[in-house]
Chains A and B, each alone.
Chain A
Amino acid sequence: MSLPRPDEAVVDEAAQWMALLQSGDVSAQEREAFEAWRGADARHRLVIEQMSGGLNVLRSNALRGLPSQSLLHSLNAPSSRRRFVTGSLSLLGLAVAAGLLGRRYGLLPETGALYTGTGERRDFTLDDGSALTLNARSRVISRFDANQRLLELRDGELLVDVAKDPARPFVVETEHGRMRALGTRFLVQRGDDSTRLVMLHSQVEVVTRGGARQVVEAGESLLFDEQNILALERTKGHEIAWTQGRLEVRDRPLSEVIDSLRGYRRGILRLSPDVAGLRLSGIYPLDDSDRTLQLLEHSLPIRVIYHSTYWVSIEHL
C-alpha cells in the first residue's frame, strides 16, 4: 500500500523545483519540464504534495493579522530544550531546571505584561510616552485608562521617567503600597518583604497598604512595607548603576550583592550563611556574573565552587 520512502536526491530535486516555481520567474519550458518530472514517478508527486502541505500550516487563521516580523521574533526564541541539552545537564540537573522553568513561567502572563528574563535589561516606551527600564527578572503589568496610568510591579526593579500628564496621575503599585506621581523620574525595587523607592527628580507620594503616608523628594530614598514607613534616607547615587550594567555597592553585606546577581544568573547560586554577612564595597559587571564571582573571591575570604555551570555555591575559605 505504501510507497517506498523517496530518497534524499528526489527530495532535493523537488525542493529545487518548488523554489523555482515560487520565484514567479518560470518559463513555459521550465513549467513543462516540471510537469514531466512530476509525472515520471509516483514518488515525485508524493514529495511535491507533502511540500505543498507544509504551506497549509502557514495559512492558519490564527496567524492572520500577525505581522511576519512578530512571527519571526517568536520562532527565533531560543529553545529551552537546546539550552538545557547542550548544557549537558544530568537527570538531576533537568529536574532542577524544570523547577526553575516552572517558577519562571509559572503564571500565564497577563495582557499588558512587560517583563525581562535572566540576565536581561530592557527599555520600553509606554503608551503615554513615559520611558520604562526593567532590571533582570522583573515583571510589570500596565493598566492605563482615562483616569490614571497604573503600573503594577510584580517582581524585580524598574526605573521610570514619567511623561507629564496632569490629568492622569502615574501610579506604581507593589503589594506593599502605591507611589503616585505627576511627572518625574524614580526607581522602584520590589523585595519580598518591602519596597524601596528612590527619587531621582521631583516628588512622589507613597501610601502603604496600611495607610501610612509619606512624600518623598528628589535625592531621597524610602523603604516601606505593607504597614509602615521603615526608613527615609538620602540616596547614595549608585542605585541606577544597573541601568548601565554595573552593580555598585558601598559597605553592603555579601548576601545583598548575591541577591542582585541572581537576576543575572541561571541556575542555583547558594550562599553559605557564615559568609552572608561579610561586608564589601565595589563596582561589578552585572552582565558577566562569572567575572563578578571571581572578583568577589579575590576580595573576600570566600571560595566559589562550580558544581556545574548551573550550580554554584559560595563558602567560607
Chain B
Amino acid sequence: MGGHQNPHYPLIGQMFQKDYQWLCTSVSRTLGCYHSAQDIASETFLRVLALPDPLAIREPRALLTTIARRLVYEGWRRQDLERAYLESLALAPALVHPSPEERVLVIEALLAVDRLLNGLSAKAKSAFLYHQLDGLTYSEIGERLGVSTSRVQQYMADAFKRCYQAMAQI
C-alpha cells in the first residue's frame, strides 16, 4: 500500500482532519450508534479517495453526506438481501449450505446484481435472469411468466437499458 501513494492523499488528508469528526457525529445521529458511524465515516473517506478527480470537489461536506448516506442504505440493503438469501436456503433444504466465507461472497455478489437490476420490475428481472442464467428462450420465458414473446423481448431491452445506467454510474 505504502509504495505508490495516491496523488490526492494530502488533499483528502486535510479533508479527513477537518471533517472526520463532524461526519461521525452526523452519521451517528442517523444510526443512533457511534461505532457503526465511525465505520461508515471511514469507508466514506476511502470512497472519496477512490474518486477519479477529488480536486473537483466543491462542497466536501455535501459530498461526504451523500456518500455516507448511500453507504448506510447499502448496509440496510445488504441486510435485506442476506435475510432473503438465508430464507431461500431455509426454503430449499436440498441446496448445499455454504460456509460463512462463501456466504459473504454470495451476499457481495447478490448486492452487485441488486445494484445492477435495481428499479426493474419483478417480471423484467425474472426474464433477464431466466435468460442469462438458465438459458431459457424468450418463448419459454413468456410461458413461465404468462406474457407474450414480444413482451419478453421488451423486458430484455429494459434490463439492458438498466445495465447501461448501472455501469455508467460506476
Chain A residues proximal to chain B, CB less than 8 Å: 5, 11-12, 14-16, 18-20, 22-25, 47, 50-51, 53-55, 57-58, 60-63, 65-81, 91, 94-96, 98-99, 101-102, 105, 108-109, 111-114, 117, 124, 127
Given contact pairs A55-B163, A73-B85, A98-B31, a sample of 8 additional A-B residue pairs in the complex whose CB atoms are under 8 Å apart = A14-B160, A50-B168, A51-B160, A58-B133, A75-B117, A77-B83, A79-B76, A80-B79
Which residues of A have CB within 8 Å of B167?
A: 50-51, 53-54
Asked whether, in the complex, the Cβ of A71 is within 8 Å of the Cβ of B113, the reply is yes
Is B1 engaged at the interface, CB distance under 8 Å to the other chain?
A: no
Interface string of B125-145 (1 = CB under 8 A from A): 110011111100110000000
Known: A91-B29, A95-B32. A75 touches B153 (CB 8 A): no
Partner of A15, one of B76, B77, B158: B158
Asked whether, in the complex, the Cβ of B157 is within 8 Å of the Cβ of A16, the reply is yes
Chain B residues proximal to chain A, CB less than 8 Å: 29-33, 36, 73, 76-77, 79-93, 95-97, 100, 102, 105-106, 108-110, 112-114, 116-117, 122, 125-126, 129-134, 137-138, 153-154, 156-158, 160-168
Smallest CB–CB gap between B20 and chain A, Å? 21
- Give the distance in Å from the alpha carbon of A23 to the alpha carbon of B137 in the complex: 7
Asked whether, in the complex, the Cβ of A60 is within 8 Å of the Cβ of B132, the reply is no
Total A-B residue contacts, Cβ distance less than 8 Å: 169
Asked whether, in the complex, the Cβ of A124 is within 8 Å of the Cβ of B90, the reply is yes
- Give the distance in Å from the alpha carbon of A105 to the alpha carbon of B33 in the complex: 15
List 28 interface pairs A-B (beta carbons < 8 Å), by A numbering: A5-B168, A22-B156, A23-B156, A24-B138, A47-B164, A50-B164, A51-B160, A54-B160, A54-B162, A54-B163, A58-B129, A58-B133, A60-B109, A63-B106, A65-B96, A70-B92, A73-B88, A74-B81, A74-B88, A75-B113, A76-B84, A77-B80, A79-B76, A80-B76, A80-B80, A105-B83, A113-B90, A114-B90
Smallest CB–CB gap between B169 and chain A, Å? 10
CB-nearest residue of chain A relative to B128? A58
Which residues of A have CB within 8 Å of B156?
A: 18-19, 22-23
Smallest CB–CB gap between B90 and chain A, Å? 5
Which residues of B have CB within 8 Å of A96?
A: 32
- Give the distance in Å from the alpha carbon of A137 to the alpha carbon of B168 in the complex: 40
Asked whether, in the complex, the Cβ of A101 is within 8 Å of the Cβ of B134, the reply is no
Partner of B29, one of A66, A95, A109: A95
Which residues of A have CB within 8 Å of B138?
A: 23-25
Partner of B130, one of A25, A54, A55, A68: A68
- Give the distance in Å from the alpha carbon of A72 to the alpha carbon of B87 in the complex: 12
Asked whether, in the complex, the Cβ of A76 is within 8 Å of the Cβ of B125, the reply is yes
Asked whether, in the complex, the Cβ of B84 is within 8 Å of the Cβ of A77, the reply is yes
Asked whether, in the complex, the Cβ of A14 is within 8 Å of the Cβ of B90, the reply is no
- Give the distance in Å from the alpha carbon of A109 to the alpha carbon of B88 in the complex: 13
- Give the distance in Å from the alpha carbon of A12 to the alpha carbon of B154 in the complex: 11
Which residues of B have CB within 8 Å of A109?
A: 83, 86
B90, B129, B164 — most chain A CB neighbours (10 Å): B164
Asked whether, in the complex, the Cβ of B166 is within 8 Å of the Cβ of A54, the reply is yes
Known: A76-B122, A77-B80, A112-B97. A15 touches B133 (CB 8 A): no
- Give the distance in Å from the alpha carbon of A62 to the alpha carbon of B113 in the complex: 11
- Give the distance in Å from the alpha carbon of A77 to the alpha carbon of B161 in the complex: 22
Asked whether, in the complex, the Cβ of B160 is within 8 Å of the Cβ of A68, the reply is no
Partner of A70, one of B29, B88, B157, B161: B88
- Give the distance in Å from the alpha carbon of A47 to the alpha carbon of B167 in the complex: 10
Which residues of B have CB within 8 Å of A51?
A: 160-161, 163-164, 167
Which residues of A have CB within 8 Å of B158?
A: 15
Asked whether, in the complex, the Cβ of A62 is within 8 Å of the Cβ of B106, the reply is yes
